[in-house]
Amino acid sequence: MAFFTLNGKEHHEQPKAGQCLRTFLRQLGCYGVKKGCDSGDCGACTVLLNGEPIHSCITPAVRAHGKNVISIEGLTDGDELHPMQQQFLEARGFQCGFCTPGMILTACALSEDQKGDLNHAMKGNLCRCTGYRAIRDAIEGRAELSVESQPGECIGRDVLPPTAHSVVTGQEDFTMDAAMDGMLHLKVVRSEHAHARICAINTQAALAVPGVVTVLTWEDAPTRRFTSAIHDSHLVDPDDTLVLDQVARFVGQRLVAVVAETVAAAEKGCQVIEIDYELLPMVLEPEEAMAEGAPPLHRDQPDSFIINPGRNILVDIDLAGGDIAAIRQQADVLIERTYSTHRQQAMHLETLGSIGWIDEKGCLNIRTSSQSPFIAKQKLEFIFNLNPCNVRVFCKRIGGGFGAKQEVLTEDLVALACLKTGRPVSWEFTRQENFIGASVRHPATIKVRLGAQKDGTLLLIEVDSTLNTGAYGNHGGEALYAGSVALGHYRAPVKHFSGRSVYTNTIPSGALRGYGLPQTLFAVESCMDELALELGVKPNALRRQNMVGANDRIVTISDEPSDVVMGSYGLDQCLDFVEAALARKADQQGPSGQEWAVGEGLAIGYHDTVPPTEHRSTATVLLHDDGTYCLFTGTAEFGEGTSTVHLQFAAEALATTPDRIKLRQSDTKICGWDTGAFASTGIVVACQATMHAAKALRERILIHAAQHLGVEVEECTLDSGGVSSSCGGKLSLIQLAELARHKGIKLAEKRKGYGSPVSVAFNAHGFRVAVNRITGEIIILQSVHAADAGRVINPAQFRGQIEGAVAQAIGYAMTEDLMIDRAGKVRNPDVRNYRIPSFADCPETEVFFADTVDSVGPYGAKGGGESPFNPVAPALANAVQNATGVRFRHLPLTPPRIYEALVSTFAR
């Protein structure tokens, strides 16, 4: 008798006793059943069990016995989309698409009643990318964005992502959606101590577990230190990390890898590994870590990059422009305030993971969830001393990244296991591992000093920032420098930025949307409001008076020669939009009751369109024999939407439609160099390369056609069918390709994109909030965002990026906090207790685009998937201050904190 029916087909396989339905369905090939948490919290694994939606990760597989299961693969029988899938397509109800199958299946099962309260009905489905508005529109069938494109009319249109169909049908291939013959599974034992030296590891019992193939410890690992951080230049981070180390520097550091035939055997092996530790003194906070006598984390093998290993200081900077002492004298008002921020986890819905194998030619292949396969490849070559020809790294679709995949955290260990065993090896992080063993946003303590004249003229901006880089220095330097950008959008004769990045025995900090800027911008933009209060002027008036204008240069510290230019200016428009929107709803009331206080606030900021480190990309475009094009780019797609823009740029230049262009991407074997999809460079660097390559190919085709038609190039035009001359001659693309073949030439072009000069993008965010002075609850009544990203290439996608960034920033400002206890252990390493915003926590944000065209960016665009994040937290703190009269200088603004500060001000 069949065990159960899956998507209309009977299956005879039996699940294992303790298996959950999720992995059983994936084992049967239904890779559309995703894992976001594996604990019932995110809904990515939703399937229908006898018609009822359930979370398959917490459903015992044995319970499916005799039942009927429908997964996303079986929602419709043929190529026709289910109406809900069509609605998700039309509303662009997805970005990375990892949550999408679960969203669609849940939405399909909602009653009309439930649809009336999506906040409630959808609370078991989390999305980290969209901020939910587009998903809400999809479920309610509210959006009808076009799914068709016209030839050569692609810029500024809501072109559908090329993978849209496969995302909504669950067919899109994500990193871990693969199994190989003979594939082994890797699991690690992580440190239980914040600082310890390993005296001995007993692997006997683990090796005796049936199915365990090998156990890897520091003694098996290469001795080359590297940095897990991904940057174009490896010299901007310290080489302080080993694949496996003899010293544990944080709770959660991987120490031993067990490689086995099954996940179960690897897990069992891990359980019986015995580690003999010598405990070392530990430090959790930068202040203690810099104190005399504090235990140094990296003294034994200092990279000269580490400025003061004895005091745990990774980098230390002090940059001043102008005479600070003199200007302090001149200031009528001088205020100094200290702010602090906490740890945020990216919580991309797809956890980290990679699969590696050595092919028949001896080449190491790694399929990974990375924002930069090219640099991951370079690191593997370096660590293992491999010839570049013998390493390939590639990405399939990635389920969200947000900067946290700008890090090599799985590839190295998988590579080691492959080299050791010669077999394919898979390692997928559990959600818990992703909380304790990946990276977080740098916690920071920031001192701001602002000096001004009575009339409001800003004289001095001083920011001193202390970042906790955690146990390793990945991104510790660059994130610190990035913080200086918060000084750039105001004019002041004297600016001073100092700071340090400090090692502690805590989870390493790393890259995350905004990259070091959200922390300092929170401080500076909060402090501007504080200064306004001190001066007795309106905060926004003070901003207008001092913010950079269209004809100013952006000076973050001093006016050094720089490649940052004001390619376009839209800060004034952003501020206008937000102010006007807030004014329109100025009489909006909060809930009734005296305890509710209502107020509004905003914040502004800017962002360089390219990071100061090098950023490069290569694109190749070619014409196939069948008259279609193929575009190769190194950039990975994780929901940021650059794939669509690549096609838009290429289609625009080639006067065709995106569906005539096949995109091949993120594979070091077939694509040219790409630094990576991070620092918001997708459009300005990678798509720039595509624009150049496509334009060059058009020229090439026109010249080629002109020769055959016997006319001048100027007389020829290219359209989606081929080339026609003004004299009447015509050659189709197929004919052109054939002629080229006969001639032995290739109609293909390759171009590079560079990240210099750099332009600037502006943002403003405003909130109206109601604050409950008894409970400490904040209700967001209005949320407004304005972005100046130059020409908006794909409005629907860009709006989605903004909404997603705002939602993630609301989480940062209000609900998310990765807490660490006194032993250095993460207190809430699970989705249930690390609260990312759900449907109900995300207000709808009104989004405005400034009307600018950039002179630097391709097709006038500036990009900006990150910058909308930055002004959100200070805007919230400013609004709460405006409502309650109390300034909150420490993030996040949780009810217990707010209550604590307000309880004395409000007697009931």
Ligand X SMILES: Cc1cc2nc3c(=O)[nH]c(=O)nc-3n(C[C@H](O)[C@H](O)[C@H](O)COP(=O)(O)OP(=O)(O)OC[C@H]3O[C@@H](n4cnc5c(N)ncnc54)[C@H](O)[C@@H]3O)c2cc1C
* Contacts with ligand FES, residue ranges (CB under 6 A): 35-38, 40-45, 55, 57, 94-99, 127-130, 349, 400, 639
What kind and span of H or E run contains 608?
strand 596-608
Residue 57 binds to another protein (criterion: CB under 8 A)? yes
d(CA 624, CA 746): 9
CB atoms within 10 A of CB 867: 31
Residue 493 near ligand X by CB under 6 A: no
Nearest to 726 by CA among 704, 747, 705, 740: 705
| Alpha carbon 450 to chain centroid, angstroms | 32
Q: Which residue's Cβ lies closest to ligand X?
A: 40
Among 41-49, 296-304, 654-662, 697-705, the segment contacting another protein (CB under 8 A): 41-49
Length of the chain: 908
Distances (CA, A) of 469 to 224, 384, 509: 21, 26, 5
Binding-site partner at residue 639 among ligand X, ligand FES, another protein, none, CB < 5 to 8 Å by type: ligand FES
DSSP secondary-structure letter at 677? S
271 binds another protein (CB under 8 A): yes
Nearer to ligand FES, 354 or 430 (CB): 430
Q: Which of residues 822-881 bind ligand X (CB under 6 A)?
A: 832
Angle between helices 100-108 and 83-91 (to 10 degrees): 130
For residue 837, the minimal CB distance to ligand X (Å) is 15
Task: Single out the residue of 699, 719, 703 nearest to residue 711, CA to CA.
Answer: 703
Long-range (24+ apart) CB contacts under 8 A made by 594-597 are: 594/908, 595/772, 595/773, 595/774, 595/775, 595/906, 595/908, 596/770, 596/771, 596/772, 596/773, 597/770, 597/771, 597/773, 597/883, 597/884
Residue 54 binding partner per list ligand X, ligand FES, another protein, none, with a CB distance cut-off of 5 to 8 Å that depends on partner kind: another protein
Burial 236-262 (b: 16+ CB within 10 A, else e): bbbbbbbbbbbbbbbbbbbbbbbbbbe
> Binding marks (x or -) toward another protein, 487..516, rule CB under 8 A?
------------------------------
Instruction: Out of 173, 726, 903, 905, point to the residue binding another protein (CB under 8 A).
Output: 903
User: Which of the ranges 120-128, 175-183, 328-336, 791-799 carries the binding residues for another protein, by CB under 8 A?
Assistant: 120-128
> Is 60 one of the binding residues for ligand X (CB under 6 A)?
no
Q: List the single partner that 98 binds among ligand FES, another protein, ligand X, none, CB under 5 to 8 Å by kind.
A: ligand FES
Partner residues linked to 138 by β-bridges:
none
Q: How far is the CB of 832 from ligand X (least distance, A)?
A: 6
- Give, as ranges, the residues between 32 and 51 that touch ligand X (CB under 6 A): 40-41
- For the bound state, the minimum distance from the C-beta of residue 106 to ligand X, rounded and expressed in Å, comes to 13
110 or 335: whose CB is closer to another protein? 110
Residue 68 binding target from ligand FES, another protein, ligand X, none, CB below 5 to 8 Å by type? none
Contacts of 213 (CB under 8 A, 6+ apart): 184, 259, 260, 261, 421, 423
Q: Which is nearer to ligand FES, 458 or 511 (CB)?
A: 511
As a whole number of angstroms, the distance between CA 783 and CA 781 comes to 7
CA–CA distance, 872 with 881 (Å, rounded to integer): 14
DSSP state of 313: E
Q: Is 46 in the site for another protein (CB under 8 A)?
A: yes
Which of 47, 418 has the CB closer to another protein?
47
Q: Which is nearer to ligand X, 246 or 833 (CB)?
A: 833
Residues 85, 165: contact at Cβ < 8 Å?
no
Closest CB to ligand X among residues 40, 156: 40
Considering the complex, state which of residue 54 and residue 603 has its C-beta at the smaller distance from another protein: 54
d(C-alpha 381, C-alpha 665), whole Å: 21
Select the binding partner of residue 95 from ligand FES, ligand X, another protein, none (C-beta < 5 to 8 A, by kind).
ligand FES
Question: Which among ligand FES, ligand X, another protein, none contacts residue 45 (Cβ within 5 to 8 A by kind)?
Answer: ligand FES
779's CB contacts (< 8 A; 6+ apart) are: 590, 591, 769, 770, 771, 772
Instruction: Tell me: does residue 350 bind ligand X (CB under 6 A).
Output: no
| From another protein, ligand X, ligand FES, none, interface partner of 114 (C-beta below 5 to 8 A by class) | another protein
Q: Are 589 and 598 in contact (CB under 8 A)?
A: yes
Q: Which residues of 313-341 are buried (b: 16+ CB within 10 A; e: fewer)?
A: bbbbbebebbebeebeeebeebbebebbb
Residues 14-45: b if buried by 16+ CB within 10 A, e if exposed: ebeeeebbbbbbbebebbbbbbbbbbbbbbbb
User: 896 touches which of another protein, ligand X, ligand FES, none (CB within 5 to 8 A by kind)?
Assistant: another protein
Of 838, 852, 870, 881, which one interacts with another protein (CB under 8 A)?
A: 838
Q: Does 819 bind another protein (CB under 8 A)?
A: yes
* The dihedral sign for the CA sequence 499, 500, 504, 508: positive
58 binds another protein (CB under 8 A): yes
Asked if residues 363 and 391 have their Cβ atoms less than 8 Å apart, the reply is: yes
C-alpha distance across the termini of the chain, in Å:
68
Work out which of 6, 20, 91, 747 binds another protein, going by CB under 8 A. 20
Would you say 735 or 833 has its CB closer to ligand X?
A: 833
Interaction with ligand X in 665-684: which residues (CB under 6 A)?
A: none
Measured in whole angstroms, the distance separating CA 361 from the mean position of its chain's CA atoms is 35
- Binding span for another protein by CB under 8 A among 299-307, 436-444, 496-504, 836-844: 836-844
Helices (H), 639-756: 642-653, 688-709, 733-743
1, 12, 52, 385: residue in contact with another protein (rule CB under 8 A): 52
By beta-carbon proximity to another protein, the closer residue of 119 and 146 is 119
Of the pair 97, 790, the CB lying nearest ligand FES is at 97
Q: Interface with ligand X includes 729 (CB under 6 A)?
A: no
Question: What Cα–Cα distance (Å) separates residue 147 from each residue in 140, 167, 602, 801?
Answer: 18, 14, 36, 19
Q: Which of 23, 378, 635, 648 binds another protein (CB under 8 A)?
A: 23
**Which residue type occupies 25?**
L
Residue 124 interacts with another protein (CB under 8 A)?
Answer: yes
Residue 110 beta carbon to another protein: minimum distance, rounded to whole angstroms: 9
Q: Alpha-carbon distance 491 to 404, whole Å?
A: 33
Q: How big is the site for another protein, counted in residues (CB under 8 A)?
A: 63
Minimal distance in Å, beta carbon 137 to another protein?
20
470 or 776: whose CB is closer to another protein? 776
Catalog residues that contact another protein under the rule CB under 8 A.
Answer: 16-20, 22-23, 38-41, 43, 46, 52-55, 57-60, 62-63, 106, 114, 119-125, 263-264, 267-268, 271, 430, 774-777, 815, 817, 819, 827-828, 830, 832-835, 837-838, 840-841, 894-896, 899-900, 903, 908
Catalog residues that contact ligand X under the rule CB under 6 A.
Answer: 40-41, 58, 832
